[in-house]
Chain A
Amino acid sequence: MAALEVVAAFALPGWVGPLIVLAAVLTTAAAARRLRGLATISLAASPLVGSILLVNLFLLPGAADPIARLGPIGPTWSGLWFGLQTVARLMAFSLAIGLVYLTTAVDDLLADLARRGVGRRAIFVVGAAVQMVPSTIGRAGEIVDAQRSRGMDTEGPIWRRARGVLPLAGPVVFGALTEVEERTMALEARAFSAPGRQTLLRVPADPASHRVTRWAAILAIAVIVLARASGRLG
């Protein structure tokens, strides 16, 4: 479900995907009484959201429909539009994953997937993705604190805050990369040492070269997603 929502958020063009997903996530969350948790996640994402909006609003390449003229740069309608769309996608993505985390004990989820005959590789991926959520939230808070300590202005006028995108997004990406790698190793160690479960699949051989390729692919996806989210690939 969450995977579907995540894919939908990015694959469906324009507004349709993200909005459908957001609606689905919010309905599910309301039913599961987890709206508060989602609010926390939204709050944690707010610096990033603000940055995305600002950067697109002022700096969207090729946008030529100004809302107002303020010297060399100015806000544009297409920038605003694109920024909102990016934010909708980002929120759909993070809330969908966040909801899974809030409503599911990770071990239960993984055990359940295994019982349904899902391959171990897929389980690693799901496990790593789901477990990244809380740590990313905590890490994001500390990154903001560290950059504020270096004089980055998050309380001043808007144009000064807009400078914070790269200093905030950079460490989030790098941190996520290193962490996924660590979690992968930990997960693999645990999964491979677990007593054999009843499963119809044979355990696939998993040579180091495959692991490297697989994680390189996942990391590449993470980078693309975050780069897009930060507005840098536009």
Chain B
Amino acid sequence: MNVPLIELEAVSFTYPDGPTAVIDVTLRIEPGETVVIIGQNGSGKSTLVRHLNGLLRPGSGRVLLDGHDIHSVHVAALAARVGLAFQNPDRQLFAGRVASEVGFGPRNLGVRGAELEARVAAALEDVGLAAEAETNPYDLGLSRRKLLALASVLAMRTPVLVLDEPTTGQDARGVARVRAVVASAAQEGRTVIAISHDMRFAAECFGRVVVMRAGKVALDGSPAAIFAQAAWPELRAAYLEPPLPAVVGAGLGLGSTPTAAALVAALPGPAGEGRGRPPGRAGNE
């Protein structure tokens, strides 16, 4: 699997008769990186990721995969490299069977026969829908329809996976599935780019956080940097709240603790002893 380097160079996009939704965005995403894009509704997140597979073409600026400008590459060709799962499953599900729905993408990529069946089965397994292969998609609840839409993109086995609000509207079990999907894709070395409003998901599952505000990238860095107290004013200006462990950690003067695990590790006392403390001190006692 050749995982491409993704580069956006000064990308701007204006909808016809609409707002300028993306303004001068420059991003470089290394192969295998896991990136979460957060930001208020309407800040341009979905518009931005639609440039990654050519659904939208920049009004100005360039999008490059492995150094090649994709402006003249068809979406159908880009779909083999960049899988994009949309937020609303009901705007893509059409087949009468869950398995055919999942097979649609890989079939479009020319996959047939045993390989197709194996991919469909594996994708359904990944999202926990293996038992529903023969079910009608519209007999599934929203949470599982969403997982089905996710599976239908997973089955394409693209080196880049882009997920638009995968956890929105999910129940706890669905969120756990999405987390597992992100983790295993990252494990396999694929690039994962997700949009989310779930700060816990963002802080725990991704190596890099990009904050969008009014069409621009406002912040870009590791979860520890983005959720550190110093960045809160900028976060709040984008109408975002830092995750709870970050607030608690800052309140206790423990530095940046974006996740519960980081917070526990930084706590003094038995729970944190020997984990968050410098080893030298433990040795003195």
> Is A150 within 8 A of B152, CB to CB?
yes
B94 close to A148 (CB less than 8 A): no
> Of B88, B152, B156, which is within 8 A of A142 by CB?
B88
> What per-residue 1/0 map shows which CB atoms of A142-169 lie under 8 Å from chain B?
1101111111111110000000001111
Which A residues touch B91, using CB under 8 A?
139, 142-143, 146, 171, 175
Q: Which residues of B contact A147 (CB under 8 A)?
A: 92
Q: CA–CA, A106 to B138, complex, Å?
A: 31
User: How many residue pairs, one in A and one in B, have C-beta atoms under 8 Å apart?
Assistant: 75
Is B176 an interface residue when CB atoms closer than 8 A count as contact? no
**B247, CB-defined interface residue at 8 Å:** no
Whole-angstrom CA separation of A170 from B50 in the bound complex? 22
Contacts of B75 in A (CB 8 A): 148-149, 154-155
On chain B, the number of residues with a Cβ less than 8 Å from chain A's Cβ atoms is: 27
When A151-B156, A156-B74, A167-B104 are in contact, do A178 and B80 touch as well, CB less than 8 Å? Answer: no
B84 partner, pick from A149, A167, A174, beta carbons under 8 A: A149
- Per the bound structure, the CA–CA distance linking A112 and B44 in Å amounts to 39
CB-CB contacts of B73-89 with A at 8 A, as 1s and 0s? Answer: 01110011001111010
When the two chains form their complex, are residues B55 and A155 in contact, meaning their CB atoms are under 8 A apart?
no
Does B153 make an interface contact (CB < 8 A)?
Answer: yes
- Cβ A151 vs Cβ B93 within 8 A: no
List CB contacts (< 8 Å) of A130-149 with chain B: 139, 142-143, 145-149
Which A residues lie within 8 Å of B108 (CB)? 150-153
Enumerate chain A residues within 8 angstroms of B171, measured Cβ to Cβ: none
Cβ 8 A contact of A149, one of B83, B90, B93, B95: B83
Choose among B76, B85, B94, B95 the residue that contacts A151 (Cβ–Cβ < 8 A). Answer: B76
Interface of A is mostly: helix
A151 to B77, CA, bound (A): 7
Q: Bound complex: CA of A161 vs CA of B179, how far in Å?
A: 35
Taking a contact as CB atoms under 8 Å apart, the answer to whether A175 and B79 are in contact is no
When distances are taken between beta carbons in the complex, the residues of chain B under 8 Å from A139 are 91
In the complex, the chain B residue whose C-beta lies closest to that of A170 is B94
How far is A154 from B76 in the complex, measured between Cα atoms in Å?
A: 8
B76/A146 in contact, CB under 8 A: no
Which of A148, A153, A171 gathers the greatest number of chain B CB atoms within 10 Å? A148
Q: Select A143's contact among B79, B85, B92, beta carbons within 8 Å.
A: B92
Chain A residue nearest to B88 in the complex (CB): A142
Write out, one digit per residue, whether chain A residues 162-195 have a CB within 8 A of any chain B CB (1) or not (0).
0000111111001100100000000000000000
Known: A149-B53, A150-B153, A155-B75. Contact between A178 and B90, CB under 8 A?
A: yes
CB A26 to nearest CB in B, in angstroms, measures: 22
Q: Is the CB of B79 within 8 A of A150?
A: yes
B32 beta carbon closer than 8 Å to chain A: no
Q: Are A148 and B55 closer than 8 Å at their CB atoms?
A: yes
Closest partner residue, chain A, to B105 (CB atom) = A150
State how many angstroms separate the Cβ of B156 from the closest Cβ of chain A. 7
A186–B32 CA distance with the chains assembled, in angstroms: 46
Q: Does B271 contact A (CB under 8 A)?
A: no
The distance in angstroms between the C-alpha atoms of A2 and B64, with both chains bound, is: 49
Check if A171 sits within 8 Å of B92, measured CB to CB.
yes
Question: Which residue in B74, B88, B90, B104 is a CB contact (below 8 Å) of A155?
Answer: B74
Chain A, residue nearest B90 (CB) = A175
- Cα A156 to Cα B75 in complex, Å, equals 10
A147–B101 alpha-carbon span in the complex (Å): 11
A46 to B127, CA, bound (A): 35
Residues of B41-75 at the interface with A, using a CB-CB cut-off of 8 Å, are 50, 53, 55, 74-75
Chain B residues lying within 8 Å of A152, measured Cβ to Cβ, are 76, 104, 108
Say yes or no: A145 contacts B93, CB within 8 Å: no
B76 touches A156 (CB 8 A): yes
A136 to nearest B CB, angstroms?
11
Closest residue of chain B to A141 (Cβ to Cβ) is B91
Q: Write the chain A residue with the least CB distance to B111.
A: A151
B180 at the A interface (CB under 8 A): no
Which residues of chain B are within 8 angstroms of A168 by Cβ–Cβ distance?
94
Provide a sorted-by-A list of 12 A–B residue pairs whose CB atoms are within 8 angstroms.
A142-B91, A145-B86, A149-B55, A149-B79, A149-B84, A151-B79, A151-B108, A152-B76, A153-B76, A167-B94, A169-B94, A171-B92
Please name the 8 residue pairs, one residue from A and one from B, whose CB atoms are nearest each other, closest first.
A170-B94, A151-B108, A146-B92, A150-B105, A151-B79, A153-B76, A149-B84, A155-B74
Binding site for A on B (CB under 8 A): 50, 53, 55, 74-76, 79-80, 83-86, 88, 90-95, 104-105, 108-109, 138, 152-153, 156
